[in-house]
Amino acid sequence: MSGRDAAPSPARARWRQWLQAEWLLLLFGGLALGLAALDPQPWASYRRWLQLPTLAGLLGLLVATQGICDSGVVQRAAATLAARAHSVRTLGLLLAAVAALLSMLLTNDVSLFLIVPLTVALGGISNLPVLRMAVLEALAVNAGSSLSPIGNPQNLLLWQHARLPFLHFVAAMLPVAALMMLLLGALTWCWLPSSRIHLERPGINGISTRLALLSAATLAMMVWMMEVGRAECAAPLVLLPYAVFARRTLARVDWWLLATFAAIFLGLGQLAELAPVRGALDRLDFSQPLVLYASGIVASQLISNVPATVLLLDRARDPLALAIAVNVGGFGLAIGSLANLIALRLARQPHGLRELHRVSIPFLLVCAPLVYLAWRWIGP
């Protein structure tokens, strides 16, 4: 057999590439199908685990941010920002700070949809290390969003459950969020080079004003509809104008990312409610602060911090203590926070998971004990 005959066909090569890229979808899709076969549940349970409002909101964000990127606005902003930065380290600190600030106001996921495409564009015209910045931005939104009751889904859930005043929640989380941000700033300073920014191209031309305006309006509408709990109603409204005016943008949307999150929600949702899992939790004394803190972190590493919050919500006497635990649990493994997966997917850099874990796991090991000591020292 000749070398030409032995070479894989283009179709087989594309299929193999897809399998390598979408292994997370295959893993959690297999988990969801396996659990459904072993322990069938009513449709209402699957609908609850699927979290349709979250998926609808994610759909709107994916379409809007893809439109913003296609319009050329992000590339133009990236060129302007890179031209004015003094060093890679300074630019990295600025991007991480902006990501953290946005996550307090627009949630961690939304801030990533805004900041990571900008980072990718910056990497295309300068020597900014895109993968390192994507990892730092994932850590930044996990840290920054911990301060605000609306910064991430777990905080929103716990804030509404505890019925605390907005500022009371912020004040309770402030020492923890400040410590996280301090550690993140130190990591950013040490990990990024101090070399100057070198531009490869002076700028980007060809901005589509119509697409930029449509996408900005879509993004604003989607964020607002998510805030008022009407994301499912907004999703068809998002798709219609793009289907008419920007079909190429719809074709470039990362639909497999949406499918991956659906598989994660289904698989982890049912896993968290299995009798052995609940039986193991019943043997723990969650009135002990250390038990609650460690359980929130460990559960987040296994099933992500939002399902972990749902799992432990009725067992935790102190919702604020649980909020601290699951926010810290967003570091470590990539599954600890869905924001980690979003950042890596938007960056589309090789070896993303390996680079994230190389930094995020040590960050968790340093952050977790320091946050616990700060919480017990400053708290009640």
Measure the CA–CA gap between 198 and 200, rounded to whole angstroms: 6
pTM of the model: 0.81
Q: Taking a C-beta distance cutoff of 8 angstroms, is the pair 151, 337 a contact?
A: no
CB atoms within 10 A of CB 163: 7
User: How far apart, in whole angstroms, are the C-alpha atoms of residue 96 and residue 193?
Assistant: 15
pLDDT, averaged in runs of 10, over the chain (380 residues): 58 77 83 91 89 83 84 78 84 92 83 89 89 96 92 83 84 94 96 87 68 88 79 86 89 86 85 83 85 94 86 85 95 92 90 94 97 82
Residue 7 has a pLDDT of 60
Alpha-carbon gap, residue 351 to 349, rounded angstroms: 7
* Distance separating alpha carbons of residues 356 and 220, to the nearest angstrom: 30
pLDDT at res. 379: 60
Decide if 242 contacts 210 (C-beta within 8 A): no
Predicted local distance difference test score (pLDDT) of residue 354: 94
Provide the pLDDT for residue 201. Answer: 62
Closest CA to 249 of 110, 120, 60, 123: 60
Q: What is the dihedral of CA 95, 101, 107, 113, to 10 degrees?
A: -20
Q: Show the tokens assigned to 91.
A: 């630019």
Burial of 209 (0-12, 13-18, 19+ CB in 10 A): exposed
Give the separation between CA 370 and CA 259, rounded to whole angstroms: 37
Q: Cα(252)–Cα(263) distance, rounded to whole angstroms?
A: 21
The answer to whether 193 touches 52, Cβ cutoff 8 Å, is no
28, 260 contact by CB (below 8 A): yes
| Token pair belonging to 109 | 């996921």
Whole-angstrom Cα distance, residue 154 to residue 37? 29
Q: Give dist(CA 185, CA 100) in Å, integer.
A: 11
User: Cβ distance 315 to 281 under 8 Å?
Assistant: yes
How high is the pLDDT of residue 380? Answer: 54
